[in-house]
Each structure stands twice: as C-alpha cells, then as structure tokens.
Amino acid sequence: MRRASAALAAFAATGAFAVPPVLWHAQVDNDVFQSDRWYTSGVRIYRSAPLDASSPLASFLRLPSTREQRLDAGIVHEVYTSDGRQDPALPDRPNAARLLASVARHDISAETLATLGFDAGVSGPAALGEELQDFFHRIAPAPETDWSRQVGNRADIQLAGAWSQRLPLEALPGALVVHGGGVAGTLATFGHAGLEWRTDGPAQAASHLLRFAATPPIARRDGGLSFFAGASVRAVGRNRLLERRDDDPTPEAGLEKRVARVAAGFAWSQPWGAVTVALAQDSREFTGQRARHRFGSLGFSIALD
C-alpha cells in the first residue's frame, strides 16, 4: 500500500512539474558603459503563459512540429538619445522614446522557436522618455541631452516575426542555432539573419538580442548555468526614429542600410525562474555615428501564478 501511495505521489508530482508554468518577466537593456547615448534604455515587462491549443489564436499559422505554445502580453518602453559629449553641429540621432503594448505568440519544439508579435503605441513626448531619463539621472548623473526638439507624437505600430532553428550538427557540443525574421512597422522596418552557439536548444534560457522579437523566458530544464554567443546582421529598410523636426537646424543622420551585432551572455536557471545577463555591440546605425555602440541586458523571470 505504501509503495502504491508513493508511486501515485511521484506520478502526481511529475505531472505537476510537466505543466508549463506561468511566468512574469522583466527585461532591461541599458548603455551603462556609455552614459546615455544612442540606444539608451529598453524595458520590457510581460506575462508569459501557456496557450490553449483549442484557442483560435493557437491555430493561426501554427507549425506542424509545435509541442507547446505560449502567449506573452506586456509593455515595452525604449529611449534613444543623442550623444551629449558630441559637437551639436555634427550629425547625430535625435532624442526619441517609444511606449508600446505588446503581444507575442511562440511555437516551441525541441528544435524550433518561432515567434509572431504585434506592438502598438506611441512614439514622442507621450512616451515619457524625458521624464524617465530625468528620474534616473537623479540617481546616476550623465551628460544632458536635448529633448526640446523631440519629434511630436506619432502612432507606433509594428509586426514582428522571428524563427530560431537548431542545425542538425550532433558532432558539436551544445547547439548551433540560426535566426531569421523581420520587423515591419510605421517607424522601423528591417530583416535580420544570424547564427548563435548555445549550450541548450533554441527555446531554453533564450535571449532576445539576436532574435529582435519577444522571447519566452523559459528556464533551463535541469537548472544551472547556460551560455550563448553569436552574431547577426540587419538589412534596414527605414528607421524614422532618426528623423528630425522641420524646424531643427541639426543635420539629419543618414541611415545605415546594414547593421551588424555581436552578443554573448549566460543564464542561471532555477525551479523558480531564471536570471539572464548579456552584452551586445552594434555597428554604426547612422552616418556620422562616431563609434560602435555597446549595451548590457539583464532579464529576470519568476513563476508567480
């Protein structure tokens, strides 16, 4: 009788563990090494939950190999600024901020992570970029940047898609993953492709840095540390965040059509969630940009529901 009870308890525990958890995730990108210039800050806060297979949203363009689907819903806030140390007569990007509501669906299998996302909100003063920057500068001083010539409020809507596929190269340790996808929006449009080495498959402890789309915060199955490193290139069709107002005398920065990124990091996974730390470096995004841009990314996910 005791053996039967123990077996039932073990079965119940296994079943409970197998149920995909609901996760809350916070992700912060910051150019802490360069003190507020260009891509200054990016914040994403969202809830990631399993998606019922009977939902109409689940069946839309569902991949045949999909074993699990997740739905993320949250907010995104991004801040871009000029270089406070540069001569204002030289070309530079203008200050700009974005505030978006974000929804993304993920199709997950052992070899694939596919994402479809939709973001909608506003770019301009209503996104409160100046207010957020001023608040944090009370704690960590940095060079002043000019928000007085920020472009007015504009609708900011975009569709994003990303596909991450593990290559069948069993001779290599870990996993070699190719990424591809794109973003089409009212302010930014680009396609991207990249290659990444990981200690795990495409979906476990994954990073958004080479996917350019929402990424589910799934912890490593057996816990512990995992690592990644890779590179990507973006073919940029347009970036209206570089546009200046008609009354702004500063020279407008020309768009670089090709932007490269290298990124590396690690994740620490536990039963309660995961912490992800990563570094990225982008090549020049506009003509006249005087250096490549580096920033860090910190993510924290926890099962609360």
Mean pLDDT is lowest, of 114-123, 143-152, 172-181, 224-233, for 143-152
Q: How confident is the model at residue 11 (pLDDT cuts 50, 70, 90)?
A: very low
The one-letter amino acid code at 295 reads F
pLDDT of residue 277: 97
pTM, two decimal places: 0.88
78: tokens are: 């991004």
CA distance 72 to 49: 6
pLDDT digits (tens, 9 = 90+) for 26-78: 999 998 766 678 898 999 999 999 999 888 889 888 888 899 999 999 999 99
pLDDT digits (tens, 9 = 90+) for 68-105: 999 999 999 999 998 867 666 678 899 999 999 999 99
Q: How confident is the model at residue 215 (pLDDT cuts 50, 70, 90)?
A: very high
pLDDT of residue 281: 96
Does the pLDDT value for residue 125 go beyond 80? yes
Quickly tell me which residue has 């290298």 as its tokens. Answer: 262
Does the pLDDT value for residue 14 go beyond 50? no
Quickly tell me which residue has 């995909």 as its tokens. Answer: 20
> What average pLDDT does range 114-136 have in this prediction?
93
Nearest by Cα to 150 from 123, 188, 181: 123
CA distance 198 to 61: 27
- Please tell me which of 81-90, 112-121, 126-135, 283-292 the model is most confident about, judged by mean pLDDT: 112-121
Q: How many CB atoms lie within 10 A of CB 230?
A: 20
Q: How confident is the model at residue 13 (pLDDT cuts 50, 70, 90)?
A: very low
Query: Cα-flanking dihedrals φ and ψ of residue 260, to 5°?
Result: -100, 155
The CATH homologous superfamily for domain 21-303 is Outer membrane protein (2.40.128.140)
Q: Are 99 and 122 in contact (CB under 8 A)?
A: yes
pLDDT of residue 210: 97
CA distance 204 to 195: 16
pLDDT digits (tens, 9 = 90+) for 295-305: 999 999 998 86
pLDDT digits (tens, 9 = 90+) for 257-268: 999 999 999 999
Task: With residue 264 as reference, give the H or E element that holds it.
Answer: strand 258-270
Residue 140 has what DSSP assignment? S
pLDDT of residue 144: 73
Nearest by Cα to 243 from 116, 154, 143: 154
